Amino acid sequence: QEWPISGGNWGMITQSYPEIIITGHADGSIKFWDASAITLQVLYKLKTAKVFEKSRNKDDRPNTDIVDEDPYAIQIISWCPESRMLCIAGVSAHVIIYRFSKQEVTTEVIPMLEVRLLYEINDVETPDGEQVPPSSTPGTGSNPQSIVPQSHPSTSSSSSDGLRDNVPCLKVKNSPLKQSPGYQIELVIQLVWVSGEPPQQITSLAVNSAYGLVVFGNCNGIAMVDYLQKTVLLNLGTIELYGSNDPYRREPRSPRKTRQPSGGLCDINEGTMVPEDRCKSPTSGSGSPNNSDDEQKMNNFIEKVKTKSRKFSKMVTNDIAKMSRKLSLPTELKPDLDVKDNSFSRSRSSSVTSIDKESREAISALHFCETFTRKADTSPSPCLWVGTTLGTVLVIVLNLPPGGEQRLLQPVIVSPSGTILRLKGAILRMAFLDTTGSLVPPAHEPWREHNVPEDKDEKEKAKKRRPVSVSPSSSQEISENQYAVICSEKQAKVISLPSQNCVYKQNITETSFVLRGDIVSLNNSICLACFCANGHIMTFSLPSLRPLLDVYYLPLTNMRIARTFCFTNNGQALYLVSPTEIQRLTYSQETCENLQEMLGELFTPVETPEAPNRGFFKGLFGGGAQSLDREELFGESASGKASRSLAQHIPGPGGIEGVKGAASGVVGELARARLALDERGQKLGELEEKTAAMLYSADSFSKHAHEMMLKYKDKKWYQF
């Protein structure tokens, strides 16, 4: 479709740095926009829905009833610009990993994984096809395939009571897929139905090209996938991440009746615990309680709660599905924004006992980094920081094999570190600074073409290359090496590592809560930018957290602003005003001063054309009124000559009188024109006489000059 507006000019001043905006749409498409100037230009469009089979009628899509309108809508986008890795999360609980390539390829079989991520396990026997072999503790270096709950495509199955089970919401195509140059599919990950419960939408997503890992979470738990080996490394409920260090003292609500003994993935302290205190993954199993009476009481209690919990879960799922049909935006667990008092207050009690409060602890923030995981660490190591909606930050250690071919053969070992940090409000953003206050970027791998066969020399370089940041020197290991910046809905903290001491703390808001928090660079410095629900934009210096800016921008009127607002570097931010409009703003003084020069002109400026000459008879008999300005009537331009439209038609009592008046006017006008012509002829005559006199004077001067030249022609200088 042709763009409806044509023309316009660019502004005189443009930004000195490139900027790209990535938008996700309800039809599953992703667009890359060049935002270096004030206007947007489409660079690239990616269709994510072409990997799935489209259902023609409603009977063919029984698994997408929760998102029937827009099952391919984009929720979250994670992009690594250095390695050009792209990862998206859709509304149907699916994750797609893309790798950039300049070569056209044809994929015979689309690689995919199916993950069971549901903490509320019903008291139903696991189907025979879902028997999981025993898995050992991650620290022992076992094969990660042993903890994969469902890593291959499978057919639909149902439990004993006829509930839908082990079925993804979308079906991946079985036919070969031709992929043009650009972003090409690396792996498709789908969450499946479990015992009649649909998969919850993904609330957080992160990808790291240096580690070859992607991690995502929702209100049930967290899953980590190695997209190089196509295996699931971690699949735990949110409560199981705490282990015995759970500050809420929660217990699994719906354990399995029969469990297989296995090593614990959530052995936080890396020690032994009694079976009653061990929280096991639904896929890894655990030992049965020692007391059979306690088990019977627990089962009776769970049987009473299970029906209410299932109804509550379905109600929440339907509500989220209705909201997500209109927006292709990240799903975050926020309070109801339709309250009239705009207070947005939220209770954050430390004693969480009800099922409703427990079910709200979702994974809200994920960040890959290389830092100190424990207080006793002397050097940084790769790890994953996990933030939840109850204000908890947990650290997971990543033990990566060497690069090259060994990275594809040896498993990645994932183990909890035992580090738990607490803040007030849901965790929104995490980042790390060095001792100088500079931002420590996550490790990344430089982009290279994967579809071209490599030479032997390049393979040797790839074996030796391990794209992670360099550990600090021994002289720096004694002092505090890094700072962790954590922003929640209520406050921000700066924690020194590895001592884990809180060096700076700032309560951002008391009456409202933060919707978006980002660590951005502004004027060669790092600061924390926050957008609150009461409409205020606030910035704080790092690492001191001193308030720099607090200005009222706009109140939160709809969920679209809350879900799409984001900050960028150099003092800019943007959000969706409507489903088709992007609002871009700045809080930088330098940008505000140059804003008028940066703004372009919508229309092309042209010079005003001169009005056509109006003839005398046209003005006389045109019948229309003529507009005359002051300059034309009394200015110098009209002096010395009469106006062409001076005659005026004055209608008389009869037609003949009117004609006589017009004729007399014409005669007078002709007389004046003849008089002016005579005056002009007289002036031309005078000019001719003056010209003749000047010609005679010039001839006389030329004659006298010639005579003088002849007189002194033959005389010498000494004859004077």
Q: What is the DSSP letter of 6?
A: -
Choice between 255 and 597, residue whose per-residue pLDDT is larger: 597
Q: Residue 591 belongs to what domain range?
A: 20-450+479-598
Give Cα 474 distance to the centre of its chain: 39
pLDDT at position 313 is 40
- Examine residue 10 and state whether it is found in any structural domain, yes or no: no
- Is the pLDDT score of 543 beyond 50? yes
Residue 62 shares a structural domain with residue 172:
yes
Classify residue 620: in a domain, yes or no: no
Can you give the pLDDT at residue 79? 93
Q: Say if residue 358's pLDDT is above 60.
A: no
Determine the average pLDDT of the residues in 281-285. 33
pLDDT at 280: 33
Q: Give the helix, strand, coil percentages of the chain, each rounded to 5.
A: 25, 30, 50
CA–CA separation, 13 and 477 (whole Å): 46
* Domain co-membership, 507 together with 651: no
Q: Which residue has the tokens 């479709």?
A: 1
Residues 227 and 309 in one domain: yes
* C-alpha to C-alpha distance for 222 and 211, rounded to whole angstroms: 17
Q: Which of 575, 598, 621 is the last residue in one of the domains? A: 598
Q: Which of 241-245, 465-469, 670-674 has the lowest mean pLDDT?
A: 465-469
The secondary structure of residue 312, as a DSSP letter, is H
pLDDT of 241: 85
* Gap between the Cα atoms of 362 and 2, Å rounded: 44
Instruction: Answer yes or no: do 222 and 334 share one domain.
Output: yes
pLDDT at 637: 54
Q: Is the peptide bond before 543 cis (omega within 30 degrees of 0)?
A: yes
Give 639-648 pLDDT, tens digit per residue.
Answer: 555 555 556 6
Taking the C-alpha atoms of residue 439 and residue 437, their distance in angstroms, rounded to an integer, is 7
625, two tokens: 């009124």
Contacts for 619 with CB less than 8 Å, ≥ 6 apart: 626, 644, 645, 647
693 lies in some domain: yes
Token representation of residue 324: 């997500």
Our separate counts of H helices and E strands in the chain read 10, 31
Q: Is residue 684, in this structure, part of any structural domain at all?
A: yes
Q: In this predicted model, what pLDDT tens digit does every residue of 496-505 receive, in sequence order? A: 998 999 999 9
Query: Distance between terminal CA atoms of the chain?
Result: 96
pLDDT score at 329 = 37
> Average pLDDT, stretch 112-123?
70
Q: Which CATH number covers residue 406? A: 2.130.10.10
Q: What is the band of 310 on the pLDDT scale with cuts at 50, 70, 90? A: very low
Judgement on whether residues 267 and 118 belong to the same structural domain of the protein: yes
Q: Is residue 695 part of a domain?
A: yes
Specify the pLDDT at position 622: 62
Domains in the chain: how many in total? Answer: 2
Structure confidence by residue, pLDDT tens digits, 192-226: 988 888 899 999 999 999 999 999 999 989 999 99
Whether 67 contacts 89, CB under 8 Å? no
Q: Are residues 587 and 654 in the same domain?
A: no
**pTM more than 0.85:** no
Q: What are the structure tokens assigned to 282, written together?
A: 């639904």
What pLDDT was estimated at residue 616? Answer: 65
590 and 664 co-located in one domain: no
pLDDT of residue 624: 57
Beta bridge partners of 516: 531
DSSP secondary structure of 225-276: EETTTTEEEEEEETGGGTGGG-TT----SS--SS------TT-TTSS---GG
Question: 205-209, 275-279, 479-483, 657-661: which has the minimum mean pLDDT?
Answer: 275-279
Task: Please report, for residues 332, 413, 491, 533, 541, the alpha-carbon distance to residue 545 in angstroms, rounded to integers and kept in the order given.
Answer: 26, 36, 10, 20, 5
Q: Any idea what DSSP says for residue 172?
A: B
Q: Which residues contact 97 (CB under 8 A, 6 or more apart)?
A: 85, 86, 87, 185, 186, 187, 188, 189, 207, 214, 227
Residue 262: per-residue pLDDT: 31
Across the chain, mean pLDDT equals: 73
Q: Are 64 and 325 in contact (CB under 8 A)?
A: no
HEC per residue, 417-445: EEEEEECCCCEEEEEEEECCCCECCCCCC
Predicted pLDDT of residue 206: 95
* Confidence band of 631 (pLDDT split at 50, 70, 90): low
The per-residue pLDDT for 533 is 92
The reply to whether 108 and 224 lie within a common domain is yes
* Distance between CA atoms of residues 572 and 574, nearest Å: 7
Do 241 and 145 share a domain, yes or no? Answer: yes
Q: How confident is the model at residue 479 (pLDDT cuts 50, 70, 90)?
A: very low
Among 569, 598, 627, the domain-final residue is 598
Cα-based distances in Å from 26 to 2, 170, 181, 321, 326: 21, 15, 24, 13, 8
Using pLDDT thresholds of 50, 70 and 90, give the confidence band for residue 592: confident
Which residue, 505, 503, 499, 500, is CA-closest to 487? 505
509 and 424 in contact (C-beta within 8 Å)? no
- Whether 553 and 648 map to the same domain: the answer is no
Residues 439 and 564 in one domain: yes
Across residues 144-172, what is the average pLDDT? 57
Q: How large is the average pLDDT for residues 561-574?
A: 90
**What pLDDT digit, counting tens, does each position of 443-453 carry?**
888 888 887 77
Same domain? 126 vs 265: yes
Structure tokens at 31: 């667009």
For residue 244, how many other CB atoms are within 10 A of its CB? 16
Q: Give 418 or 527, the one with higher predicted confidence.
A: 527
Q: What are phi and psi for residue 675, nearest 5 degrees?
A: -60, -45
Q: How far apart are CA 123 and CA 159, in angstroms?
A: 11
Using CA atoms, how far apart are residues 208 and 468, in angstroms rounded to an integer? 10
Rounded mean pLDDT of 144-168? 52
| pLDDT given for residue 124 in this prediction | 34
Average pLDDT over residues 596-601: 73
With respect to residue 2, please indicate whether it lies within any of the assigned structural domains: no
Q: With 90 as the cut, is the pLDDT of residue 610 above it?
A: no
Of 579, 598, 617, the domain-final residue: 598
Nearest to 516 by CA among 535, 499, 504, 532: 532
Can you give the pLDDT at residue 570?
87
Q: Which of 155-159, 186-190, 332-336, 381-385 has the lowest mean pLDDT?
A: 332-336
> Is position 158 within any domain?
yes
Residue 550 inside a domain? The answer is yes
